[in-house]
Amino acid sequence: MANLIRSAKSSSDWTLNELDSYNIHLERREALESFWSSDPAVDPELFQYLEADDMQQARNAELINLLDLAMLRSSGESAVDDFVVELLRHTGYVHRNRVACTRKDLPLLICGEWRHAKTDVCIVDRRQNDILLLVQEDKYLEDREPLDAHAQLVVEALAAFAESNAGRESFDLPPFESKASIPIPLTVSIMPGIVMAGTAPTFPKIPVTQELMNHVRYGMYPPTPTVVTYCFPPLPHPLRRRSDGMKPFNNRSQILSCYEAFKTVVGI
């Protein structure tokens, strides 16, 4: 893998080849029981009515309407982003100084050239001027694991890390060595992410270090491997994960439980 050609590419062009060329590996893990057994802090009405027209609360009807639109491939990628932003509000990820931003453009030096990583959705803590969570949509239509979307999420995590360090340097502060150094309550030294296949999420955890950043900057193969772990919500019909999404009650409950538990990873 050290002999693979490395070139300056924007995040939308990253694939598994780029991960291999930087010694970055994806490993699927089974979701721990503690990860999907949390009681979701959402309005119980979301588990009582399937359709938006049956909802009594207007904001719940708006969420389900956005869910339905996001499941229509003809609606375009913006429909998934709109759904994600509203869902993050419902689940408590967005609150006061934690804001959801779409299409945030992050510069990153790759192989000695400036390129751009454009997030689909991210959560920014304006008190810390730091990105807490990245969300990337799987824009491929085939029913498969969204591996290229994971690659795009990885480079976005690197760009978010670089953005945090650039902000520190502007205040004459030393750079972070890893995400664990950031003074927010992260429980592990990772950048949390979510990959959306329609309305069905995958939950990756991306280790980010200055060592990896330096090798990407100079286009070199890192001797230390980086392992990105990810897991799927434990749905009753996993083969219909994309087509069913968060629409059925069973899926809705499991997925929202995962969002609740993932807050501890994000640090909120």
Domain ranges of the chain: 11-266
Please write the tens of the pLDDT for every residue from 180-222.
Answer: 444 433 333 689 999 999 999 999 999 998 899 999 999 999 9
Q: What is the dihedral of CA 249, 254, 160, 181, to 10 degrees?
A: 150
Strands (DSSP E) found in 74-207: 98-102, 105-110, 113-118, 121-125, 130-137, 191-197, 200-206
3-state secondary structure of 169: helix
Instruction: Please tell me the distance from the alpha carbon of residue 99 to that of residue 86, in angstroms, as a whole number.
Output: 11
pTM: 0.89
Please write the tens of the pLDDT for every residue from 218-248.
Answer: 999 999 999 999 999 999 999 899 899 999 9
- The predicted structure's pLDDT at residue 4: 77
Place of tokens 């030096």: 109
Instruction: Please tell me the distance from the alpha carbon of residue 171 to that of residue 180, in angstroms, as a whole number.
Output: 20
For the ranges 117-131, 141-155, 160-174, 227-241, which has the lowest average pLDDT? 160-174
Whether the CB-CB separation of 186 and 221 falls below 8 Å is answered with no
